[in-house]
Amino acid sequence: MDHIDQHIIEHLQHNGRITMKELGEKVHLTGQATATRVARLEEQGIIEGYTIRTDPARLGYPVHVFLTIITQSLHHQPYLSFIDSRPQYVVANYKISGKGCYLLECRFPSNTELDRFLVELNQYVNYQLSIVVSK
């Protein structure tokens, strides 16, 4: 990967919908040469995919929290199954080192839904809750 590839990635991170012609103009290559480089970056797994960013609060999920998960036992599957069954709330679940076993990021439509989730979650693990105040 050279400096041109790095510039391509920077531009794609800013605007994943840019055309190869426009991207090529920004990195001083032809559209075809740029498309070839992008394809190679995809094949190498450097570019994993393309996505959009949304505003979860405007989509009805204004309550944003992080939970440090502390498991009671070495058997984590019941917790993981519970999390997998709640995709409408779970943004990400990271296995971590240090204090806790997982860092769970969630969004909820209301504090009532958050409370309901926490009551159920407490059947599987202990947790420490942090509510996002601002981004």
What is the model's pTM? 0.79
Q: Are residues 87 and 33 in the same domain?
A: no
Q: Which residue segment(s) compose the domain that 29 sits in?
A: 3-43
| Exposed / middle / buried, residue 106 (Cβ in 10 Å: 0-12, 13-18, 19+) | buried
DSSP per residue, 27-68:
HTS-HHHHHHHHHHHHHTTSS--------TTTTT--EEEEEE
Looking at the structure, tell me whether residues 67 and 37 fall in a common domain: no
Confidence at 135, pLDDT banded by 50, 70, 90: confident
User: Do 119 and 67 sit in the same domain of this protein?
Assistant: yes
pLDDT at 31: 96
Give the domain CATH number at 107: 3.30.70.920
Domain count, the chain: 2
With respect to residue 53, please indicate whether it lies within any of the assigned structural domains. no
CATH of the domain at 37: 1.10.10.10
